[in-house]
Structures are given as C-alpha cells and as structure tokens.
Amino acid sequence: MAIRNRHPVKQKKAADVLRHIKTTLGCDVTVDSLIEVAEIDGRQMLIIDGSIDLFYIDDEPMLTLPGIHRHEPSKRYVTVDHGAVKFVLNGADIMAPGITNADPAIQENDLVWIRNPEGTGIAVGRALVDGPAMVERDSGKAVENRHYIGDELWERNETLTA
C-alpha cells in the first residue's frame, strides 16, 4: 500500500467532510494541526494529525477504525455478539443472527460501524438492510464488511503512526 499524492487539504473541503461525519455518525472530529489528503491503493483518504482517520467508500466519507477509536461516534453502530467477532475480524460479512443491537435510524445502504459487545469498533461496512431488520432477522447477511481490524488499511495506519 503506497501513499501517493499526499498533500494538505483545503479548509473548505475538510470542513464539508467533517460536517458530514458529524451529522451521520454523531461525533466531532477535532483537528489539532493538519489535515492531509492522500491516495492509498487508488482510494482517497484523509490523514488527520498523522492518522488515517477517514476514507471513502463509493465516494462517501467514512471514519476508518482508527478514526472511530479516536472520535467515538454515537450513530450508525451495529453491535455483534462475542461469537461473531472472530468472523468479522477475518473479513466476513456480518450475519443477522450475530447482531444483538443496531442504531434504529440505519437505512439500507448506509455506511455503518460494527462494534463488539464492549462497544469497541471492529469493522466498517455497508448496511444491506435497515437497523431494526438487522436485529429482528434470523438469517442472512445484514452488513457487507468493507474494513476491519487487521486488514491492509488497518496495518497501513499502524505503520504510518509508528
């Protein structure tokens, strides 16, 4: 994963993206010094204070897992049980039977973050059904896993901040 085209981002663009994150995820992304934009494996990322905190999924900004851990969102969460955690951390999609709770405001196709029973973010994905259906369903996929602890993006951020 090579970083390309890394440079400071314009304040207006950064403000628009951070406002979107605040609205959709319910968290303030505070910036102590510098916001940079970079391309990693063809994907646009925002590096905030030296950490890859934001990336784009299908042209929509979303917090990375390090960003989730730093900024603690309160919306668009999906909680899985202990039995599901090991599968999620291997990149598996999130199945409805493993979901114990979900933000009821989640709509189909929303970007969401997956947390373990303790509330720690472990993955990011795209909702395949709405929040209430995730909890009610007895079978089938509920979230497509797009980023998880231990994947290439996670590892890249670890080496960037080391």
- Position 51 scores a pLDDT of 87
pTM: 0.92
- Position 161 scores a pLDDT of 59
Which one, of 10, 3, 49, 6, lies nearest residue 29 by Cα? 49
For the beta sheet containing 77-80, the strands, ordered from the edge strand earlier in sequence to the opposite edge, are: 94-95, 141-148, 121-127, 111-115, 77-80, 99-102
- Position 148 scores a pLDDT of 97
- Position 6 scores a pLDDT of 87
- Position 159 scores a pLDDT of 66
d(CA 86, CA 54): 24
d(CA 146, CA 113): 10
List per-residue pLDDT tens for the chain, 162 residues long. 577 888 888 777 788 899 999 999 999 887 777 889 888 878 889 988 888 999 999 999 999 999 999 999 999 999 999 999 999 999 999 999 999 999 999 999 999 999 999 999 999 999 999 999 999 999 999 999 999 999 988 888 876 655
- CATH for 77-148 is 2.30.130.10
Classified by CATH at the fold level, domain 3-72 comes out as: Nuclear Transport Factor 2; Chain: A, (3.10.450)
d(CA 46, CA 55): 6
Q: Do domains 3-72 and 77-148 have the same CATH topology?
A: no
- Position 24 scores a pLDDT of 97
What are the extents of the domains in the chain? 3-72, 77-148
